[in-house]
Amino acid sequence: MGDTDLNLPPLSPADLAFDQGDDGSVARSGPVPVKTAEDLEQVFDVPVTVSAVLGSSRLAVGDLLRIAPGAVLELDRRVGEAIDIFVNERLVARGEVVVVEDRLGVTMTEIIKTDR
């Protein structure tokens, strides 16, 4: 099996049951099955990249090359403003930076829902 192959369970006829309305709309017939974390078990080991973005700055290449250790770079965010959390370069949440023992972390304050 290749790295991108998933061993997914087969669909049942109930999973494919849809009704077409008089106006051409399509709606699911019958109840929508309740999904649990166990339904996603096959994707639990898929690696993703999580990024917490404090802000951004736009510079000329010459200015970028002059940045040295200890330099302060001005970002487009204010102190206390939420940071963006991306999974695989897709915005999924916003949060606040927190210190837990001797490490930095993020407390999620808003989950971004998309139509996809």
Residue 1, pLDDT score: 46
More confident residue, 115 or 50: 50
CA atoms of 75 and 58, how far apart (whole Å) = 9
The pTM for the full model equals 0.56
The residues pairing with 104 across neighbouring beta strands, listed in sequence order, are 99
Average pLDDT on 48-64 reads 92
pLDDT surpassing 80 at residue 61: yes
DSSP assignment of the chain:
--TT---PPPPPGGGG-EEE-TTS-EEE-SPPPPP-GGGGGGGTT----EEEE-------HHHHHT--TT-----SS-TTPPEEEEETTEEEEEEEEEEETTEEEEEEEEEPP---
More confident residue, 62 or 40: 62
Residue 116, pLDDT score: 58
